Structures are given as C-alpha cells and as structure tokens.
Amino acid sequence: MRELLSRRNVVIAAGSAGVLLLGWALFAPESDEEQIRALLERLAREIAVEGETNILFRTARLNKAFEEIFTEDVSVSIPELTSLARGRGELARVAARAGSHFQNAEVSVKSVDVTFGPTPAHGKAACVAVLSSTDGSRPRRDERRVDFTLLKRDGDWRIDGIIVGERPE
C-alpha cells in the first residue's frame, strides 16, 4: 500500500510539473530579442503590397500600423531616396506609394542579429531584407542588409532608425 501511494505521488508530482512547464511556455512573456524579431516580422507583413491600389486607404492603414512599429521621429536612410524626411508620417506616405510601383511585393527578414546597449532600453538589429515583387510581368528580387536602431518605451519596442544598404551590383 505504501509503495502504491509513493508511485501515485510521483505520478501526481510529475504531472503537476508538466502542467506548470506547459503553462510557463505558453504564457511567459517574450524576451526582448523575441519582441524585436516579432516587430521586424510585423513590419515586413505591413509593408507588403497585395494588389492594393487606393493610395489613400493604404496610407491610412500604414499610418495606423506604424504608430505601433516606429517612434514618431524615426529616421530612415535608403540610397535611392535621398530626400526622405524624418518622421513616421513621411515614412507611411513613402511606403504607401510602393503600391503604385508593384502589383505584388513581399518582404522577408533573415539572418537577424539583435544586440543591446548602451542601456537595456536601446537595441540594434542587423538583418538581410529580401524584397520579392512583381512590377508588370517581371518578377524581381532585391536582397540587402538593413540596420535598425530600436528604443523601448513604456514596455514596448519601437524602431527609431533604419539604414538600408546599397543594392548589390
């Protein structure tokens, strides 16, 4: 009888530990690095072009999404856009115009390397961004290095700067 109780206790303890581990895995907060990676993935999804033709609707949608992705004074450096002004609104307007250049465009990020400093609320992410698009009947692929600077405010990460590398020849 004593051996049966002992086995039963072991099974109950193991089951309880398993449930606790599963609960922790499902409900534990994401690490800062996971949050930054998720933010970059969200950005890639938001700027995709999927046959959207109305620039006003696209701009409104991007403005709303960009409030949760970028700081208000985000700076962006893209070699082809030498006169790009600072700010989230300007970035939304430029991104919205991409819908008039592409029938479809998808962006993916790969090889993401996240670092932190000089404080825990400052982050940097370096990655390779891949643009796969169709303009007219030609498929196009553009792969470039992109560097992001990020700030954590009120518990949420926001992109504060983007530097897009030169197009490889």
Identify whether the C-beta of residue 59 lies closer than 8 Å to the C-beta of residue 96.
yes
CA atoms within 13 A on the CB side of 26: 6
pTM for the complete prediction?
0.80
Report the candidate in 164, 144, 125 with the shortest Cα–Cα distance to residue 42. Answer: 125
Peptide bond into 29 cis (omega under 30): no
Report the candidate in 116, 114, 119, 141 with the shortest Cα–Cα distance to residue 130. Answer: 141
Which comes out higher in pLDDT, residue 13 or 150? 150
Identify whether the C-beta of residue 40 lies closer than 8 Å to the C-beta of residue 112.
yes
| Burial status of residue 10 (CB atoms within 10 A of its CB: 0-12, 13-18, 19 or more) | exposed
Would you tell me how many other CB atoms lie within 10 Å of the CB of residue 111? Answer: 9
Each residue of 26-36: pLDDT tens digit?
Answer: 555 689 999 99
Q: Retrieve residue 81's tokens.
A: 């856009």
Each residue of 115-129: pLDDT tens digit?
Answer: 999 999 999 999 999
Once rounded to an integer, what is the mean pLDDT over residues 147-160?
96
Q: Please, which pLDDT band fits residue 151 given cuts at 50, 70 and 90?
A: very high
The Cα-based distances of 110 to 8, 37, 118, 130 in angstroms read 48, 10, 25, 8
Mean pLDDT of the chain: 84
Each residue of 73-97: pLDDT tens digit?
Answer: 999 999 987 677 789 999 999 888 8
Domain 31-164: which CATH class?
A: alpha beta
